[in-house]
Amino acid sequence: MSELNYDALTVGDEIPSFTTSAINRTTLALFAGASGDHNPIHIDIDFAKKAGMDDVFAQGMLGMAYLGRVLTDWVPQTAIRQYGVRFGAITNLGDRITCSGKIVDKSEEGGENLVKLELTAANQDGDVKLVGHAEIVL
């Protein structure tokens, strides 16, 4: 990973984005086991239907983990000071999630170079699933 130059970054710059492969049932089963979120609404279609859903749907924290990769792809993880999201809509089977981010602020505080980002996770139709924000120290 090459070193980022704080002075070369400009408010409004987009950081490198990526798009996940389509979410399938295996994706959700693996994340249930790996994350420790065993809520059956994400992995058991019988349970989901009884709860009034058409099908299982993705764990919110799966989307947040995907969106976090836009940060760890860009900077070493130790540069991340703060990362948060608001969950806006359910992510469904078949969705391909595009994770992107843009610089919204730069400041020098207490001898540190602070960069603030806005982050977005949206599906193939442009439906926004998560809106996030992060603070990076360079």
* SS3 state of residue 35: helix
Q: Smallest gap, in angstroms, from Cβ of residue 83 to another protein?
A: 5
* Nearest to another protein of 14, 50 (CB atom): 50
Q: Count CA atoms within 13 Å of residue 45 on its CB side.
A: 7
By CB under 8 A, name the one of 34, 54, 96, 107 that touches another protein: 34
25 binds another protein (CB under 8 A): no
By CB under 8 A, name the one of 58, 62, 75, 115 that touches another protein: 62
Q: Smallest gap, in angstroms, from Cβ of residue 84 to another protein?
A: 3
Distance from the Cα of residue 138 to its chain's centroid: 21
57 binds another protein (CB under 8 A): no
Contact 98, 19 (CB under 8 A): yes
Q: Smallest gap, in angstroms, from Cβ of residue 11 to another protein?
A: 22
Non-local CB neighbours of 37 within 8 Å, separated by 6+ positions: 31, 59, 61
* Nearest to another protein of 76, 94 (CB atom): 76
Contact 122, 128 (CB under 8 A): yes
* SS3 state of residue 93: coil
4 binds another protein (CB under 8 A): no
